[in-house]
């Protein structure tokens, strides 16, 4: 009897272990699919920020991305086109794992390049309802993942930050498409258990064999308001040079890639 | 018809008493629906343009009603900027975020606000001001230094002296503020320390007021009842007899309040005073009936016969004194301030209810009493007679009849001085001062305004005519705003202002490396725009939209005033008006004010103008009624003199002693007219009657300063002392009302006793020239009446056009119809028909 009980415990433990393996595998795949498609990539973005009163603001910019290591470090370059007053502004982000990102910006009207010390990745991305982490991806090791189940062709995964210092949510749930591992929806909850924000992929198309988000939306349920990002002119493996992701190119944008 | 009712009351007393009981019970059932309204915004109709604009701006700039919690530490040399206090504040903020009704994302606390500062290796850093509790004192002081250096926080979040902190808790609805502040107090108790937490902000003050209001009603109203009971016992020495007026007072209060609640009106600071106004007034008529019954019972030795005689005798004066009182209160319904309208109309209703109850209930009650109790009534002179009172009355008689010229000269001089005093009156109100000095709210208010730039908020909204060109990020417009802000500080009334210009300057110099030399507005519009988009990369980019709109066509300057005095806000408003007129902005704009501190100014201005109109209006109507009553223009005018002198004199005291002309004082001015005319009515009517018997003024005056003089003083005492229990109320407006009503009643009774006899002595024919001709025979009189009717009609119509057609209007029209009905019934009385023959 005792032996049977012990066996059951061991079996249970193993099952859990296998399950946990699965969760991390799913998360890793999803991370690669959503943020690391190709060796590099570029895209044009139109951003429509709508506040709780329905007031809209538009921004247009180009994004260049370069993978230093698949699933690891990445570099981003953002070139602003609209509104006119901020045209030619550039941002650069070196995404690091396990430590803070490096960020720079160039303000043409002040002719000023400044390094930005980002103490966390949860600050707003240029005033929108997306945060930096939504754009560049949240490190897979920063959360504890838990597979809640499978529903309607999605894996539903609960994620709890290992360290909640400076983070406005307490958990979030992600729905990942079982077919192509694209995360389609994320729901963020606060300590009281209220839904405070969602991120959704509204439109996914296939480009060169990579499932690609063409329209996504971030909604703020606390203050109200949402931001829609529309992607166009998406290209992968265009042969970007690591060199252009340096301070020098902030002032002098690599026009061949952003036009 | 009225006579029939009264006869019915005499014959079927039980029916009448059960009917009254039914009404009282019905009214009591309404009390469960009671609603309380302590929001000073409701001093303005919800449709008023100032309120509409305020609501729009609150929405447009995401402004909320805010509870302010000041944290002060006196033991640590760095004040609250030590590890323990900041750690407590960190956890307290976290707990507050979870409370229902708190807008967690908009809390202003060191741990919820983003800061821009210099980072390592020449970087600029966007970070939470206090991302985690500090571990060392250096970290605690770093929080202070960064907050001091940020125009958004200096003088707001952190005190100017760097020792105290204030948390700003936005709430969803103002009426939650008391409840939420209680919950926060419980949270604070979980973290014991030397720190003191002070709660303030207008929403707390208002909500707290509601709580104290009920205390007032629970203390002052019963106390007034007790005082009146004791006074009457002193006059009549028969408990079973004076129970009747007490019951009438209670029934009147309960039915009136029941009606008020049944009509769906909330109990406001004004309407909470209805019981205390009604109680003494309700008792007055019964005092007359009982007095007469007392005197006449020995003549008839029959309750019914005595009552019939007494009621007929007193019907007309009782009706007129009730009507004038009702008119005084009723005139408030034309005030532009809704709670004052409600108060006026319902006290007027209450006065009429009291009148109806008196002529029905008192006879019924007497009929039900044991007849044995009446034996010996009137004969032994059980009625209290004061030698002292009679002596004083004698002295007054001699002064006013022998030395009438000096009396009149002194009166004229007094009027002159009073008018000068009134010219010095200062109009001002401040909801925080509604509390007594030692009240926690006043203490918190004082301490926080010592440490911080000011806890009274107003918003100056600039609106550019050009909606397309993002006007307010143009450097020349920001310079204009910056100058305006500097000028506001120079007035000394404003502790701090915050605008987009401050944010832009802060971002600009931090981006350029943190050197304060660059604490200026950048030179070009793209530069401003790029500074702002940098700011938008913070945790709280939406903070920008408290100060401007996303199209940059509107700008909100947040003005913090040191005091909540309306007169100070008023000065700031006038200053800005003049400044913008003298210094036209580079691009055309309109501007307007929002915020509770400003709303208070708007209704105050309405109140002053409105109350003056009410006063003049009720003056005209009362004068008209006196014309009708005395059928002589000269008597009517004379009857108005004592109370006019009294009111002038008392209001001049405000000017001389520097007491503010605030809401309660303003309201009192109109309604005291209707109450204090009673003395003159009684005096003149009795004088004329006595003169018919005695023939000379000399003899008449002797008689007048005996019985009727005593009656006037007695009535004055009942009303005046009846209001004194308000002094026991914990809230200042109630005390003011108590003191004022006491003084007005006391002074006007004395003024009546001095001035009227003096005038009669000057020219007795004014009073005693009998007037037998029909009204229409006297041309001047007829014209005067026509004039007053015209003025009264114009006044009433004007009142409705400004007050608008609301439920209260229809109730008041109903009352007019009721008045008409009473007049009709009164005119059909036997006496009237006989006189006509």
Return the structure tokens found at B530: 């790029």
Return phi, psi of residue A107, to 5°: -110, 105
Of B104, B399, B225, B196, the C-alpha closest to A168 is B104
Looking at residue A226, what is its pLDDT?
93
Looking at residue A61, what is its pLDDT?
92
Q: Do B530 and A52 touch (CB under 8 A)?
A: no
How many Cβ atoms from other residues are within 10 Å of residue B740's Cβ?
A: 23
How many Cβ atoms from other residues are within 10 Å of residue B798's Cβ?
A: 13
Chain A partners within 8 Å of B528 (Cβ) = 85
Q: Are B266 and B43 in contact (CB under 8 A)?
A: no
Q: Do B533 and A89 touch (CB under 8 A)?
A: yes
Q: Are B317 and B712 in contact (CB under 8 A)?
A: no
Measured between CA atoms, the residue of chain A closest to residue B545 is: A51
Looking at residue B565, what is its pLDDT?
85
Q: Give the up-direction half-sphere exposure of residue B760: CA atoms within 13 A in the CB hemisphere.
A: 29
Chain A partners within 8 Å of B126 (Cβ) = 116, 118-119, 123
Measured between CA atoms, the residue of chain B closest to residue A120 is: B127
Q: Which residues, listed in sequence order, are joined to residue A218 by a DSSP beta bridge?
A: A199, A227
Give the nearest partner residue to A127 out of B119, B125, B533, using CB atoms: B533
Looking at residue B356, what is its pLDDT?
87
Q: Are A218 and A172 in contact (CB under 8 A)?
A: no
Chain A partners within 8 Å of B544 (Cβ) = 127
Chain B partners within 8 Å of A165 (Cβ) = 131-132
CA distances from B366 to A167, B289, B356, B371 (A): 79, 11, 16, 9
Angle in degrees, 0-180, between the axes of helices B440-451 and B202-236, rounded to the nearest 10: 150
Chain B partners within 8 Å of A56 (Cβ) = 550
Based on its alpha-carbon atoms, the radius of gyration of chain A, rounded to whole angstroms, reads 20
Looking at residue B788, what is its pLDDT?
62
Higher pLDDT pick, B424 / B383: B424
Over chain B, what is the mean pLDDT?
81
Q: Do B533 and A126 touch (CB under 8 A)?
A: yes
B456-464 and A102-107 as β-strands: parallel, antiparallel, unpaired? unpaired
Winning range, highest mean pLDDT, from B241-250, B390-399, B473-482: B473-482
Chain A partners within 8 Å of B132 (Cβ) = 165-166
In this prediction the ipTM stands at 0.88
- The CATH number for A78's domain is 2.50.20.10
Mean pLDDT of B788-803: 60
Return the structure tokens found at B504: 């832009």
Q: Are A120 and A110 in contact (CB under 8 A)?
A: no
Q: What confidence tier does B786 reach under pLDDT thresholds 50, 70, 90?
A: low
Angle in degrees, 0-180, between the axes of helices B525-535 and B475-490, rounded to the nearest 10: 70
Q: Which residues, listed in sequence order, are joined to residue B128 by a DSSP beta bridge?
A: B114
Looking at residue A137, what is its pLDDT?
82
Please list, in sequence order, all residues whose beta carbon lies within 8 angstroms of the beta carbon of residue A9, skipping any fewer than 6 positions away.
none
State how far the Cα of B357 lies from the Cα of A165, in Å rounded to an integer.
71
For the stretch B297-335, pLDDT in tens is 777 777 788 888 888 777 777 888 888 888 778 877 777
Higher pLDDT pick, B535 / B46: B535
Q: Do A55 and B550 touch (CB under 8 A)?
A: yes
Mutate to test the interface with A, among B537, B538, B539, B551 (most CBs of A within 10 A): B537
Return phi, psi of residue B559, to 5°: -110, 125
Looking at residue B680, what is its pLDDT?
86
Q: What confidence tier does B538 reach under pLDDT thresholds 50, 70, 90?
A: confident
| Block residue for tokens 């760095």 | B78
Q: Which residues, listed in sequence order, are joined to residue B166 by a DSSP beta bridge?
A: B70
Measured between CA atoms, the residue of chain A closest to residue B129 is: A166
Residue A216: domain span: 2-258
* Number of residues that this document lists for chain B: 837
Count: domains in chain A: 1
Q: Do A109 and B120 touch (CB under 8 A)?
A: no
Q: Do B541 and A127 touch (CB under 8 A)?
A: yes
State how far the Cα of B400 lies from the Cα of B377, in Å rounded to an integer.
34
Q: What confidence tier does B835 reach under pLDDT thresholds 50, 70, 90?
A: very low
Q: Give the up-direction half-sphere exposure of residue B566: CA atoms within 13 A in the CB hemisphere.
A: 23
| 3-state class (DSSP) for residue B401 | helix
Q: Do B537 and A191 touch (CB under 8 A)?
A: no
Distance from CA of A2 to the nearest CA of B (A): 48
Q: Do B537 and A124 touch (CB under 8 A)?
A: yes
Return phi, psi of residue B103, to 5°: -90, 90
State how far the Cα of B791 lies from the Cα of B624, in Å rounded to an integer.
10
Give the nearest partner residue to B59 out of A53, A85, A223, using CB atoms: A53
Chain B partners within 8 Å of A130 (Cβ) = none
| 3-state class (DSSP) for residue B144 | helix
What letters, b where the CB count within 10 A reaches 16 and e where it falls short, cover B42-56? bbbbeebebbebbee
| 3-state class (DSSP) for residue B126 | strand
Distance from CA of A206 to the nearest CA of B (A): 31
pLDDT under 70 in chain A at which residues? 1-21
Q: Is the pLDDT of residue B837 over 50?
A: no
Looking at residue B200, what is its pLDDT?
82
Order of all β-strands in the sheet with B165-171: B165-171, B65-72, B196-200
Q: Do A222 and B98 touch (CB under 8 A)?
A: no
Give the nearest partner residue to A89 out of B106, B123, B530, using CB atoms: B530
Mutate to test the interface with B, among A61, A111, A117 (most CBs of B within 10 A): A117
Of B371, B305, B366, B372, the C-alpha closest to B17 is B366
Q: Are B229 and B236 in contact (CB under 8 A)?
A: no
Q: Do B131 and A119 touch (CB under 8 A)?
A: yes
Q: What confidence tier does B770 reach under pLDDT thresholds 50, 70, 90?
A: low
- The verdict on whether omega for the bond into residue A83 sits within 30 degrees of 0, i.e. cis, is yes
Mutate to test the interface with B, among A88, A102, A109 (most CBs of B within 10 A): A109
Measured between CA atoms, the residue of chain B closest to residue A167 is: B131
State how far the Cα of A111 lies from the Cα of B527, in Å rounded to an integer.
9
Question: Which helix (H) or strand (E) segment is B116 a member of?
Answer: strand B114-118
Q: In B237-302, where does DSSP find H-type helix?
A: 239-262, 274-300
Measured between CA atoms, the residue of chain B closest to residue A114 is: B123
Transcribe chain A into DSSP letters: -HHHHHHHHHHHHHHHHHHHHHHHHHHHHHHHHHH--SSEEEEEEEEEEEETT--EEEEEEEEEEEESSTTS-EEEEEEEEESGGGTT-EEEEEE-SSSPPEEEEEETTTTEEEEEEES-S-SBSTTSS-BHHHHH---GGGEEEEEEEEETTEEEEEEEES--TT-S-SEEEEEEETTT--EEEEEEE-TT--EEEEEEEEEEEEETTEEEEEEEEEEETTT-EEEEEEEEEEEE-----GGGSSTHHHHS--HHHH-
Of B738, B655, B456, B538, the C-alpha closest to B125 is B538
State how far the Cα of B129 lies from the Cα of B109, in Å rounded to an integer.
9
Q: Are B122 and B508 in contact (CB under 8 A)?
A: no
For the stretch B56-66, pLDDT in tens is 888 888 888 88
Higher pLDDT pick, B7 / B571: B571
Q: In B301-435, where does DSSP find H-type helix?
A: 303-330, 338-368, 387-402, 404-423
Chain A partners within 8 Å of B62 (Cβ) = 52, 223
Measured between CA atoms, the residue of chain B closest to residue A83 is: B529
Q: In B98-238, where does DSSP find H-type helix?
A: 137-148, 177-189, 202-236
Q: Do B511 and A118 touch (CB under 8 A)?
A: no
Mean pLDDT of B88-110: 89
Q: Do A55 and B549 touch (CB under 8 A)?
A: yes
Q: Do A110 and B512 touch (CB under 8 A)?
A: yes
Q: Are A78 and A95 in contact (CB under 8 A)?
A: no
Q: What confidence tier does B34 reach under pLDDT thresholds 50, 70, 90?
A: confident
Chain A partners within 8 Å of B527 (Cβ) = 107, 109-110
Return the structure tokens found at B562: 């040191």
Chain A partners within 8 Å of B473 (Cβ) = 85
Q: Are B62 and B546 in contact (CB under 8 A)?
A: yes
Q: Note the pTM of the prediction, 2 decimals.
A: 0.80
Looking at residue B658, what is its pLDDT?
81
Measured between CA atoms, the residue of chain A closest to residue B98 is: A192
How far the first Cα of chain B sits from its last, in Å, is 20
State how far the Cα of B156 lies from the Cα of B142, in Å rounded to an integer.
17
């Amino acid at each position: 009897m005792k032996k049977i009980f012990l066996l059951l415990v061991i079996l249970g433990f193993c099952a859990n272990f296998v399950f946990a393996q699965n969760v991390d595998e799913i998360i890793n795949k999803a991370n690669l699919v959503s943020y690391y498609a190709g060796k590099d990539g570029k895209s044009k973005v139109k951003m429509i920020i709508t506040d709780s009163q329905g007031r809209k603001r538009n921004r247009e910019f180009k994004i260049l991305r370069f993978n230093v290591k698949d699933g690891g470090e990445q570099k981003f370059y953002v070139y602003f086109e609209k509104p006119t007053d901020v045209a030619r502004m550039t941002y650069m982000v070196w995404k690091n794992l396990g430590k803070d990102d490096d960020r720079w910006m160039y303000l043409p009207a002040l002719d000023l390049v400044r390094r930005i010390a980002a103490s966390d990745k949860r600050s707003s991305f240029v005033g929108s309802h997306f945060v930096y982490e939504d754009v560049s991806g949240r490190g897979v090791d920063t959360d504890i993942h838990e597979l809640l189940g499978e529903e309607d062709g999605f894996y539903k995964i609960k994620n709890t930050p290992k360290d909640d210092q400076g983070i406005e949510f307490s958990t979030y749930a992600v729905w990942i498409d079982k077919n192509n591992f694209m995360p389609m929806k994320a729901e963020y909850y606060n300590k009281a258990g209220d839904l405070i924000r969602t991120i959704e992929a509204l439109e996914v198309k296939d480009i060169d064999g990579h499932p690609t988000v063409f329209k996504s939306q971030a909604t703020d349920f606390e203050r109200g308001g949402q931001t829609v990002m529309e992607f166009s002119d998406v290209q992968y493996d265009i042969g970007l040079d690591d060199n252009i992701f340096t301070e020098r190119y902030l002032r002098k944008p690599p026009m061949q890639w952003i036009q | 018809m009225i006579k029939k009712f009264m006869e019915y009351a005499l014959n079927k007393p039980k029916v009448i008493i059960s009917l009254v009981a039914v009404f009282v019970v019905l009214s009591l059932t309404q009390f469960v629906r009671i609603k309380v309204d302590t929001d000073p915004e409701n001093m303005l109709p919800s449709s008023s343009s100032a309120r509409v604009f305020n609501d729009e701006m609150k929405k447009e700039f995401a402004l909320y009603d805010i509870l302010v919690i000041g944290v002060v530490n006196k033991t640590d040399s760095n004040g609250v900027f030590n590890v323990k206090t900041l750690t407590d504040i960190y956890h307290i903020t976290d707990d507050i975020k979870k409370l229902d009704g708190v807008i967690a994302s908009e809390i202003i606390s060191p741990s919820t606000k983003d800061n821009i500062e210099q980072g390592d290796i020449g970087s600029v850093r966007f970070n939470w001001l206090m991302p985690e509790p500090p571990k060392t004192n250096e970290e605690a002081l770093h929080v202070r230094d960064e907050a001091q250096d940020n125009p958004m926080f200096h003088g707001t979040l952190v005190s100017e002296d760097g020792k105290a902190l204030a948390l700003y808790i936005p709430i969803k609805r103002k009426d939650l503020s008391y409840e939420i502040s209680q919950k926060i107090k419980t949270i604070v108790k979980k973290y014991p320390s030397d720190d003191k937490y002070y709660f303030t902000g207008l929403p707390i003050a208002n909500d707290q007021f509601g709580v104290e209001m009920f205390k007032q009603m629970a203390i002052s109203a019963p106390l007034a009842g007790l005082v009146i009971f004791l006074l009457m016992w002193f006059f009549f020495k028969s408990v079973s007899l004076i129970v009747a007026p007490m019951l009438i007072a209670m029934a009147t209060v309960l039915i009136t309040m029941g009606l008020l609640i049944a009509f769906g009106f909330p109990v406001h600071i004004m309407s909470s005073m209805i019981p205390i106004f009604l109680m003494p007034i309700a008792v007055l008529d019964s005092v007359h009936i009982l007095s007469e019954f007392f005197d006449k019972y020995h003549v008839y030795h029959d309750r019914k016969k005595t009552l019939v005689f007494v009621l007929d005798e007193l019907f007309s004066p009782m009706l007129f004194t009730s009507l004038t009182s009702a008119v005084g209160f009723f005139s408030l319904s034309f005030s532009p301030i809704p709670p004052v309208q409600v108060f006026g109309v319902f006290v007027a209703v209450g006065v009429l209810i009291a009148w109806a109850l008196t002529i029905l209930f008192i006879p019924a009650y007497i009929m039900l009493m044991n007849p044995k109790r009446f034996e010996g009534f009137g004969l032994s002179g059980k009625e209290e007679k004061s030698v002292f009172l009679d002596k004083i009355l004698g002295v007054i008689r001699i002064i006013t009849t022998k030395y009438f010229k000096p009396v009149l000269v002194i009166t004229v001089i007094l009027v002159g001085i009073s008018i000068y005093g009134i010219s010095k009156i200062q109009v001002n109100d401040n909801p925080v001062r509604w509390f007594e000095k030692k009240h926690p709210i006043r203490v918190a208010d004082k301490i926080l305004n010592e440490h911080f730039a000011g806890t009274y908020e107003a918003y100056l909204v600039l609106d550019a005519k050009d909606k397309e060109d993002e006007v307010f990020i143009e450097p020349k417009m920001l310079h204009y705003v910056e100058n305006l802000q500097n000028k506001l500080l120079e007035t000394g009334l404003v502790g701090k202002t915050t605008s987009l210009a401050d944010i832009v300057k802060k971002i600009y110099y931090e981006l350029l490396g943190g050197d304060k030399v660059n604490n200026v507005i950048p030179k070009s519009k793209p530069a401003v725009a790029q500074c702002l988009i940098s700011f938008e990369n913070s945790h709280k980019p939406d903070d920008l939209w408290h100060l401007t709109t996303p199209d940059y066509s509107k700008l909100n300057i947040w003005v913090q005033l040191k005091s909540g005095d309306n007169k100070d806000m008023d000065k700031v408003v006038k200053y800005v008006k003049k400044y913008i007129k003298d210094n036209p902005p580079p691009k055309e704009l309109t501007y307007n004010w929002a915020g509770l501190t400003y709303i208070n100014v708007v209704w105050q201005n309405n109140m002053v103008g409105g109350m003056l109109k009410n006063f003049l209006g009720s003056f005209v109507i009362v004068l008209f009624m006196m014309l009708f009553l005395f059928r002589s223009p000269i008597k009517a005018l004379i009857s108005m003199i004592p109370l006019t002198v009294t009111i002038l004199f008392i209001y001049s005291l405000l000017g001389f002693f520097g007491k503010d002309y605030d809401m309660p004082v303003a309201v009192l001015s109109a309604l005291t007219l209707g109450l204090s005319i009673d003395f003159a009515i009684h005096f003149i009517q009795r004088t004329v009657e006595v003169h018919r018997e005695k023939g000379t003024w000399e003899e008449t005056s002797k008689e007048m300063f005996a019985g009727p003089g005593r009656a006037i003083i007695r009535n004055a005492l009942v009303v005046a002392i009846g209001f004194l229990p308000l002094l026991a109320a914990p809230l200042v407006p109630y005390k003011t009302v108590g003191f004022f009503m006491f003084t007005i009643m006391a002074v006007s009774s004395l003024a009546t006793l001095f001035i009227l006899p003096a005038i009669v002595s000057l020219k007795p024919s004014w009073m005693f020239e009998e007037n037998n001709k029909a009204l229409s025979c006297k041309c001047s009189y007829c014209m005067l009446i026509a004039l007053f009717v015209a003025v009264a009609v114009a006044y009433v119509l004007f009142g409705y056009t400004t007050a608008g057609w609301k439920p209260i209007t229809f109730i008041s029209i109903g009352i007019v119809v009721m008045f008409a009905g009473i007049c009709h019934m009164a005119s059909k009385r036997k006496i009237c028909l006989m006189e006509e023959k």
